[in-house]
Amino acid sequence: MTVRVQTEDFDAGREIAALRAGDARVGAVATFIGTVRDGSDASDAPKVSALTLEHYPGMTEKSLESIVIEARGRFNILDALVVHRVGALAPTDQIVLVVVTSAHRGEAFDACRFLMDFLKAHAPFWKKEATSEGTRWVDARTSDDEAAARW
Amino acid sequence: MPDSLTPGLVTVRLVYLARLREAFGSAGESLALSLEDESSVATVLARLRERGGSFALELGSGRAFRVAVNHALVTTDAKLRDGDEVALFPPVTGG
């Protein structure tokens, strides 16, 4: 189990290969990648030109680790990886990677979705968007809390 | 003598993050609470609101914010001990 917070980009293929390397118990690998969009949900809003990801050093890693431990307790998985980027990002950039390995696909899919839902609701990251009209902090969505509450 | 060694005082380290850091114009500060304050997160919030301005606005009723003590999310009735790190931040928006 690994969690990482970093400014650098990540290579999902390399991360998946490393997570399942030499483990013949693995029969399923579920992966989620979150990327930077240039639009908000309001169609008339100005395009996003840049995104800054801030976090709370010290708490972030502990938070992600506790979410992975929770996933391991709830689902029969073999291993899990969470990589989250911070700093200056641009549209189309990768933000977050979650990889889960298990014997069968059901547990891998469920654990992957659980990890993302809990990360979005509990891990201390904040997004700030830049548009032609200036910068603004992204508001938390109640749908994210609802997604986490389903579990 | 530092506050942390003064009998009867509880000194906590406040950390402000994201929108709250910008609104308060500060990344954090030390805050000394007397023992009679019955040191809890609620005490800290009351002290900050007394300052008025952006503190009263951002930490006012109806405003959404979160509190973590020593890197764990807590509710406002959480008790504080000398040297605790108390972080105030908006609802999270990562992922």
* Contact with chain B for residue A50, Cβ under 8 A: no
CA distance A54 to chain B (A): 7
C-alpha distances out from residue A100 to A30, A31, A32, B2, B66, Å: 5, 7, 9, 48, 29
Which residue does chain B place closest to A62, by CA atoms? B71
pLDDT for residue A28 is more than 70:
yes
pLDDT in tens, A52-93: 999 999 999 999 999 999 999 999 999 999 999 999 999 999
pLDDT for residue B82 is more than 70:
yes
Q: How far is CA A22 from the centre of its chain?
A: 25
Are B44 and B16 in contact, with CB atoms under 8 Å apart?
A: no
CB contact under 8 A, B64 and A56: no
| pTM of structure | 0.92
pLDDT for residue B37 is more than 70:
no
